[in-house]
Amino acid sequence: METNNFPESKKRKLSTILENGDSMASKFAEMKAENEKLKQFIEKQNATIIDLAMDNTELKKEKMNHSKLLKEYESEINRLKPRADELEKMNSILEQKEIKTKAAIAKYKTRILCMNVDFVRMKIVGEQIQAGLKRNYECKIDHLESNIDNLMKKNLDMNQTMEKERKEFKAKIKALKSGADKDYDMKE
């Protein structure tokens, strides 16, 4: 079978195909199946391109939305910027006040510590004075007690002496009375 419609290389291919024992119909069916696969691949690629185009459109819409949101945020930032400046000023004022407050607290803590030290010193001095006074009073009390004991001994001695003298005096009076009675009796 001779083919004149095909170029020379295609004739060779076709003759090679036909020589191998394959039929033209089976080769055509293979080519048709391969062509179908290619069509499906192209359709998938087209669908992917369409999806990408839709995604791109959505991204553009989102970008526009983001641009709108960005503009809204920028306007909100610009609107809030004076308030932020005021807040920064207030914050710096508060920081200065906090520094002053911390300095005052440190000053008062120092004063309190000094007062505590003074108090402890005064307490120690007071305790020393109290201990000295206690010793003085104890010495005075001991001295007074010994004086009282001495006075009581003297009083006791004086009482005993007075009692002794009283007894002697009574005895003298008795003796005198008895002697005076004798003298009185004698005068009579």
Query: At 3, is the pLDDT very low, low, confident or very high (cuts 50, 70, 90)?
Result: very low
Structure confidence at residue 19 (pLDDT)? 54
Give the sign of the dihedral formed by CA 164, CA 167, CA 173, CA 176.
negative
Which DSSP helix (H) or strand (E) runs through 4?
none
Say what the pTM is: 0.34
Question: Do 18 and 24 contact (CB within 8 A), yes or no?
Answer: yes
Structure confidence at residue 75 (pLDDT)? 87
- Rg over CA atoms, the chain: 69
Query: At 2, is the pLDDT very low, low, confident or very high (cuts 50, 70, 90)?
Result: very low
Summarised one tens digit per residue, pLDDT across range 101-110 is 999 999 988 9
pLDDT score of 25 more than 90: no
Token match 């359709």: residue? Answer: 43
Burial state string for 159-186 with b = 16 or more CB within 10 A and e = fewer than 16: eeeeeeeeeeeeeeeeeeeeeeeeeeee
Count CA atoms within 13 Å of residue 101 on its CB side: 6
List phi, psi (to 5°) of 2.
Answer: -115, 135
Burial class (CB in 10 A: 0-12, 13-18, 19+), 11: middle
pLDDT score of 66 more than 80: no
Which residue blocks in the chain are alpha helix, DSSP H?
A: 8-19, 24-187
The total of other beta-carbon atoms located within 10 Å of residue 117's CB is: 10
